[in-house]
A and B are shown apart, each in its own frame.
Chain A
Amino acid sequence: MTIYHDVLMDHYKNPRNFGCKNCDTNATSHMHNPSCGDKIFLKLKVDGGVIENICFEGYGCALSTASASMLSEHVKGKKVSDAKKTTIDDVKKMLAIDVSSVRLKCASLPLEALLEALNSIN
């Protein structure tokens, strides 16, 4: 059960920054992967070019949920300009697994949502 290591499973079962109820936000995005039904709603609170808060909701597999959780921790407090430089390779490093081609979309959906929300700011 190779890719389902403890850290990844912890982020899956206890996702950080999960839940957007009553969050003060000013940028949002919604991504959907029709091939597996994954959905992510991501919200940001940006102030003075800095990501002050990030939260997400949705439905996804362990990879997709852990990816969103780790990504949210990674960019919280970062400058928007720096957060925009996040790549799929960064996500793979955070997940610390070899993401197979068939699961790449699972890992990348939260990143796509993040970049869309960031790009909607200006």
Chain B
Amino acid sequence: MSNIKNVDPRNDFPIFSVKSNSNLVYLDSAATTFKPKCVLDVMKEYYEEYSSNIHRGLYPISVKASEEYEQTREVVKSFINSSRKEEVIFTKGATEGLNLLASTLCKIIPHGSEIVVTIMDHHANFVPWQQVAIEKKFKFGVVMFDPLNVTLEMFKQIISNSITSETSVFAFPYVTNVMGVEFPVEELIKIAKAKNPNVLVVIDACQAIQHIKIDVQKLDCDFLVFSGHKIFGPTGVGVCYGKYALLERLSPYQYGGDMIEEVATHETTFAKPPSRFEAGTQPIAEVIGLKAALKYVQSVGQQKIHNHSAKMYEYAIDSLNKKLGEKVELYTPKYLKSSSIISFNLRKCHSHDVSELLANKNICIRAGHHCAQPLHTHLDMLSTCRASFSIYNTFSDIDLFVETLSNIYDLLS
């Protein structure tokens, strides 16, 4: 049922073979994904066999560490189809990537221009822009719409109306983190650039990177970020992609070793991108682990991961409707596409109670505002439960989840 390549993908993930996890139902992959053995192996190998700092040693283990690290850049380049590897900056995660962009782009965009985000953005793609706008006196626009009821045509019109000659930055998610809404990114970028060719488009691809093939050249986005741990990679590493000509215009985000060209007592010149943005010792094991994660995804196939998550999503919605009916309130978009994340509430039940009672059965979901308070406020929701799916989920996971929810409703109502 859940088989991919005719082999159970759960066998690739050591967490399922731990005795205490024998009944684990993990429906929180939007928060973080599990790590396959191949990722853990290469990180262990680095620490055990060639642990050393990169770019600075001429001895064999340092040369190997540098090569492995830089090979990840090549793998990311082909994974997102950027035109050159120097467009790939390693960060500690998407949040750092977005902070890097907010704090450096604000120095090159016109004074008093407008930064636009959407009501569906994660706080990481919302707060950095909001705060930079306050501090540097930019206008701050939030595209407001009802994701549950808006049609695709209305949505595109709303986006078009939100971009003006004053807009300098337009930041939005590829797939939203609360409802899994898939934005028609390529079209939206065309719409935005048709309204204003100078607008810089920033894409938060965290919830897309695992299961949607991303081609930054085809999309024509200016910047795109994601976190390694959302795609079976380690925590503590992420990617910030930027068009090279734009990266060259950005000043450093942090100062320190490895990001300089020449330092004199009273002045410093800086390295070219990407080194300019990679100050200090990098998360070397994590970058190497990211390479293994991306290769793992390539070997499984992003389309297969997408199809499997979508199958779990549809089965879960169908089961929830059939078994719980009016007892559950599903926050699924009527017209926009969604495929891997479901937000819901049991009627008159608090999300924390539902989540804790599921946890008693070792069923893992998330409860709260999912780092999207503006969206919850906009839709007048105090908090929600969120279930998200990946390749290691099975139909029996969903069955147990829905059955337990039914029991929880009986207990709490």
List chain A positions with a Cβ less than 8 A from chain B: 1-4, 9, 12, 34-39, 59-63, 103, 106
| Cβ-defined contact, B357 with A4, below 8 A | yes
- How many Å lie between the Cα of A52 and that of B411 in the bound state? 34
- Bound together, the chains give a CA A69 to CA B200 distance in angstroms of 53
* Structural contact, A103 and B373, CB atoms closer than 8 A: no
Known: A1-B360, A37-B376. A62 touches B353 (CB 8 A): yes
Interface size class of B (residues with CB under 8 A): 10 to 19
Could you tell me if A36 and B356 are in contact, using CB atoms closer than 8 angstroms?
no
Find out whether the CB atom of B352 lies under 8 angstroms from the CB atom of A103.
Answer: yes
B134 close to A (CB within 8 Å): no
Asked if residues A36 and B367 are in contact (CB atoms below 8 Å), the reply is yes
State which residues 350-368 of B face A: CB under 8 Å.
350-353, 356-357, 360, 367-368
User: Which 5 A-B residue pairs are closest in the complex by CB-CB distance?
Assistant: A37-B382, A61-B350, A37-B383, A61-B352, A61-B353
Q: Which of chain B's residues 7-38 have a Cβ closer than 8 Å to chain A?
A: none
Contact B352 A1 (CB under 8 A): no
Q: Contact: B357 with A106, CB < 8 Å?
A: no
- Complex contacts, A4 vs chain B, CB 8 Å: 353, 357, 411
Question: In the complex, how many angstroms separate the beta carbon of A57 from the nearest chain B beta carbon?
Answer: 15
B contact residues around A38 at 8 Å (CB):
382
Partner of B360, one of A2, A37, A103: A2
Q: Contact: B360 with A35, CB < 8 Å?
A: no
Question: How many angstroms between the C-alpha atoms of A1 and B80 in the bound complex?
Answer: 45
Contact: A36 with B368, CB < 8 Å? Answer: yes
Chain A residue numbers with a CB within 8 Å of B352 are 36, 61, 63, 103, 106
Which residues of A are found within 8 Å of B411, using beta-carbon distances?
1, 4, 9
Closest-CB distance, A120 to chain B (whole angstroms): 26
A59 to B349, CA, bound (A): 10
> How far apart sit A118 and B368, CA to CA, in the bound complex (Å)?
30
Chain B residue nearest to A39 in the complex (CB): B382
